[in-house]
Structure formats: C-alpha cells, structure tokens
Amino acid sequence: MSVGLNPRFRFDSLVVGATNRLAVTAARAVAEQPGVIYNPLLIYAPPGLGKTHLLTAIGHLALAKRPGSVVEYLTMDDFNEDYHAAVAAGRGDAWRQRFLATEVLLLDDVQFLAGRREMQAELLRLIDALQRENRQIVLASDRPPAEIEQLDERLMRRFGGGLIADIVSPDFETRVAILRRTAEERQTAFLAGVLEAVARTPIESVRELLGVLNRLVAEQAVTERPLTPERVRALLGIDAAAAATAAVEVVAEVTETVVAAAEESSTARDEFGTFLAELQATLEAQVENWRLGAERAVADFGARGFATRRLEQLLGDTPPAEPDVVIRQYEADVERLEAIAEEIAALAPELVESQTLRDPDALAAAELLLDDAKYRTLPLPGPVDAFSLETLTETPGNRMAVHGARTAASEPGVRYNPLVLVGPPGSGKTHLMHGIGVALQAAGMSRVACLGAGEFSDMLIAAIERNAVPSFRARFRRVNALCLDDVQLIAGRERTQEELFLLFNALSERGTQMVFTSSRRPAELVGLAPRLVSRLEGGLVATLEAPPRRERRMSGAVQGPAFRNAERVIWEWPDVLDRVIEEWR
C-alpha cells in the first residue's frame, strides 16, 4: 500500500551524476532493504535538485520489492496538520499507530521542524519507535540538520546515527543528460547545441532548468521552426558577458563533429556512471553483509539485555578493518558471559543481577565476579571434630558454660545467643566452642564456622588488600553458626571490630547461633568498642575456671581422640601444640 507517491518519480527516471551519486546509492540501498542499512536516511539539497523525486523513488522501489508493504510519503506540513487534527479530535494515539504501521515512512521538507518543539518531540518518539521495529524512515530537507533552527539535539543525533547525504547542483554533463531525457519524454527534438546552451545557464535548480526546457518546447511548437542555440540564448536573456565567456564553447557547438563528440562523451560518462551506481548498490547490499549482521546482532543481543556498545561503534562512520572478527569476538564474549552467569547463579544467586554480566566489554570484571562468587562459597574453617561436648569433663567451675554450650547446640540461635565463654588459658573454653560446632554439624547443620578471632582479622586484611571486602562479608554471612575463639585478640583492631559488629548484626537478625570465647569478660577487655561489648554482654556470658592440675591431664583437648587423629588436628588447628603445652603447664 502506498500513500502520496507521485508515479513519475522513479529511479529509472532519475539521472545519476557525481553530485547526487551518494544520495542515489544510499536511497537505492534503503529501498531494497528498508530498515536495515541507513536508518534514518536524511537527504538534504537546495530546492529543485530532486529530493522529492528520490524520496518517491524509494517508495516505488520498496513497494516493487515488497508488494503489499505500507509506504507513506508526506510533507512535514501534512505531518503537522494531521497531528493537530488528530489531537483536536482526541485521536492522537490513532495518529501514532498510523505511522507505526508503515514499513517505509518518507518525510519531506523536514526543515519546517524549525521552532516546532512539539512536532520535534513527536518525530523523535516516532523515529525511536520505527527504529526499534526496523522500519525505514527517510527524510528530506533543503538544508543540513545543523542549520535547521532550534532543532532538538536528540533529533540531530538520531539523524547523524543513520546517514546524511547531500545533493548539490548537477555538473554540466548531468544537466545535459537531464535535459535530453526530459526532451525525449516530451518527444521534442532540438538542434545540436540547444540543450547545451540551456545547461550553461546559471540556473542551479533542476526544476527551474526543466521549466526553461518547457518554455523552449512550447516556443518550438508555436514557431514550428527548430530553435538554434543563438535563439535560445536570446530567449533566455543570457547576457553578453556570459555569452563571451562561453565563446569558446559556442565554437564547439557550431562544429557538428565536436558537438557529436561532446554528446558521445556525455553519454559515455552516463553509461559508466550508471554502471558504477548500480555496482555500488550491489556492493553496498552484498559486501556490507557484516553491517546487516552487526545490526541484527545489536537488535538480538540488545533484546536479550546485553550491552551492545561495541557493535554500535562498529556501525559508526568509519568501518573497522575486520568487522567480522569484531562481531565474532563479541558473540564469543557474550557466550562466555552466559557461562559465567550460569556458574554464578549456582554459587551466589545474589550476584546474578549484576550489570557486569550483561556487558561483553566488561568480561574481565565478570571473570572477577565469578572469582568473587567462588570465594564467597569457599567453606570457612569448621570445628575440629576431636573436641566434642561428650568428651568434656563437667566440673563445678565450668558447669554453667557446659550447660550453655549444650543448650546452644540443641537449640541454636534460640536461647543463648551469643554465648560468650570466658576463662583463662586451659579452662577448656576452646574445647567447648568446638564441641558446640561439632554438635551442630552432627545435627545436620551445614556451614558451621569455627575459627580464631586473629584468623578472622587476617582474612579481613587479605580482603582489604584484594579490594574484596564485600566478598569477605558475603562469605561470613552465609554461615549458619559462627564460633569465634579468643575475641580478646581483636582488641584495638578497629576495622576488624567494625566488620564483626556488622556481621554480628546480620547474623543476629537471622537468628544464627554465635559463640565467642575470651580470656576476660567483654566488658573488661580494653580496646573493644562499646557497641561490640554491649552486644556480647547481651547474650550469655559464662565463665570457666581453670581446673586443678591433676584434672587437666584427663580433660579436654589432651584426651585420646585428639591424638588418635593427630594429623588432622594439626592441619585444621595449627596452634594445637601450643595449646597442649599450655594445658600441660
């Protein structure tokens, strides 16, 4: 379906010359593959140089290639009036839908957008909508966009994103060719040199040039005598100076053989020019397949949520050296991103929404994110299973602590949270802490972390070095129970205390059981932040007394099971020997 297409304006009735070749080639390309190559295409030229012809020719060719498609041609004035009529009738949406249904929209005289903010905004929306749907939009203006007054910068950018082609006044040969073709269409023969004389007039507009030709056709019909070049010059009022300037050419004109040679030369140039224009169209359509591929890739990957900057740059003004390599690399990067995203989804679902995983230009960052996800899921040090609550000897000095430990193990996070075990070295607090961890694991709890407060601090320092504190936090916040030995070791370490404070709050909110050991009550520790002190003191603080020397041999860590699995104990609890020595002393 076509709206408003003048049947006379087609590509085969257009004379192609050096001054309009780019515009014609681009126009052919968009007519053959609407919405694919140059979108939008903007053609600008002074009045009378064939903009409307070209726009209409695009419409005809697009329809010939795809019969049944919707092609609409209208001037900016029509566009404007239709819009206001639609708005007045309360049918603004219908107006928009009408244009969204077109496959090729041809808008003439867009210079009349000057100062019309409302229409500019509508056109902007329309261009965006049409581009999204791969519909072609072609615009014509009598001046370059930069010279259209008060043109919205966003519109300028949209125009620049497609192709802007200009047409300037045709050269002498092209003017002769246009005049000859038109004379043939009018079935009028002129003497040699007549059309050349017309072509030499200082008229720039082809439309006006054809007006002159019409006058000559009429003149010749009325006088019934062939017009001579001299008569034509007299009729057109070409002044003496101009005539003098053209004197050399006049000599050529009167020499029949020279005129014939000039005609042949002109025809010859036309023949090669046509060949070149058609070949250009073929090459544009064929060799630039990568461009179509890139545009398709932009649409496809864009729709899947991937950033397409790299491909958009590919489609910029300067074609890259090896576009297919760039496209293949982009696809490979997207494939890798998808694999990374899948792996991360399994490891750390909270990271999967990261925009990094949608940006092939940030593949290196995505790899780091995967490392981060892996780090987050690395198991934290667990309890040493040699220390169980069952192997602990209950004494009057540790009764309350043992009770607290057993309760924490049987009802984690419910009654004594946090449980803070306080005692001097050798009192068995570490044994108790690990015992709780072992009991929780035995009850089926996963991710039970048991580690020294010094180790916690060292891990934080390593994370700061790697700029990976969020991963450090995420790793600890995944635990289902946290047992931290020797809290007194972080006294004076402000950053560690801050992280512990944040972790405490997060785990507390989730009801995660926490067990701490300390050589002194938290309130007595110098260098421990009051906010941490209050939280530790807010749970159950159970003290353990050092057992008499004779009982030590039979108690806790030095009992048989620890040594039956000595290698593992040393591996998982590197300071066990120090503790044993301390126990023995």
Residues engaged in binding other proteins (CB under 8 A): 268-269, 271-272, 274-276, 278-280, 282-284, 286-290, 292-294, 296-297, 318-319, 321-322, 324, 327-328, 331
Q: CB 18 → other proteins: shortest distance, Å?
A: 10
Q: CB 322 → other proteins: shortest distance, Å?
A: 5
Is the CB of 234 or the CB of 279 nearer to other proteins?
279
Is the CB of 87 or the CB of 325 nearer to other proteins?
325
Write b or e for each residue in 414-442: b if 16 or more Cβ atoms lie within 10 A of its Cβ, otherwise e. Answer: eebbbbbbbbeebbbbbbbbbbbbbbbbe
| Integer Cα distance of 345 and 370 in angstroms | 10
Q: CB 375 → other proteins: shortest distance, Å?
A: 36
Q: CB 277 → other proteins: shortest distance, Å?
A: 10
| Residues β-bridged to residue 515 | 419, 483
| Integer Cα distance of 171 and 160 in angstroms | 27
| Integer Cα distance of 426 and 584 in angstroms | 9
Is the CB of 291 or the CB of 478 nearer to other proteins?
291
CA triple 81-41-110, angle to 5 deg: 30
Is the CB of 180 or the CB of 233 nearer to other proteins?
180
Is the CB of 263 or the CB of 331 nearer to other proteins?
331
Q: Residue 24 contacts by C-beta under 8 Å, 6 or more apart in sequence?
A: 11, 14, 16, 54, 277
**3-state SS track over 478-500:** CCCEEEEECHHHHCCCHHHHHHH
Q: CB 255 → other proteins: shortest distance, Å?
A: 20
Is the CB of 269 or the CB of 415 nearer to other proteins?
269
| Integer Cα distance of 263 and 183 in angstroms | 15
Q: Do residues 108 and 101 make contact, with C-beta atoms less than 8 angstroms apart?
A: no
Is the CB of 36 or the CB of 124 nearer to other proteins?
36
Query: What SS3 state is found at 95?
Result: helix
Side by side, the strands of the sheet bearing 136-141 are 2-3, 71-75, 104-108, 136-141, 41-44, 163-166
Q: CB 319 → other proteins: shortest distance, Å?
A: 4
Q: CB 213 → other proteins: shortest distance, Å?
A: 26
Is the CB of 164 or the CB of 453 nearer to other proteins?
164
Is the CB of 245 or the CB of 265 nearer to other proteins?
265
Q: CB 511 → other proteins: shortest distance, Å?
A: 53
| Integer Cα distance of 195 and 145 in angstroms | 35
Is the CB of 308 or the CB of 488 nearer to other proteins?
308
Q: CB 25 → other proteins: shortest distance, Å?
A: 8
| Integer Cα distance of 380 and 474 in angstroms | 12
Is the CB of 317 or the CB of 465 nearer to other proteins?
317
**3-state SS track over 568-584:** HHHHHCCCHHHHHHHHH
Q: CB 337 → other proteins: shortest distance, Å?
A: 17
Query: What SS3 state is found at 585?
Result: coil
Q: CB 292 → other proteins: shortest distance, Å?
A: 7
Instruction: Measure the N-to-C terminal CA separation of the chain; round to a whole number of Å.
Output: 101
| Integer Cα distance of 47 and 338 in angstroms | 53
Maximum separation of any 2 CA atoms in the chain, in Å: 143
Is the CB of 324 or the CB of 342 nearer to other proteins?
324
Q: How many residues does the chain have?
A: 585
> Does a cis peptide bond (omega within 30 degrees of 0) precede residue 47?
no
**Residue 546 zone, left/alpha/beta (φ > 0; ψ -120 to 50; rest):** beta
Q: CB 231 → other proteins: shortest distance, Å?
A: 33
Is the CB of 41 or the CB of 474 nearer to other proteins?
41
Is the CB of 101 or the CB of 279 nearer to other proteins?
279
Q: CB 372 → other proteins: shortest distance, Å?
A: 32
Token couple for 356: 């990094």
- Nearest Cα residue to 424 out of 406, 387, 398: 398
Q: Residue 315 contacts by C-beta under 8 Å, 6 or more apart in sequence?
A: 291, 294, 295, 298
Q: CB 278 → other proteins: shortest distance, Å?
A: 6
Q: Do residues 438 and 388 make contact, with C-beta atoms less than 8 angstroms apart?
A: yes
> Does a cis peptide bond (omega within 30 degrees of 0) precede residue 412?
no
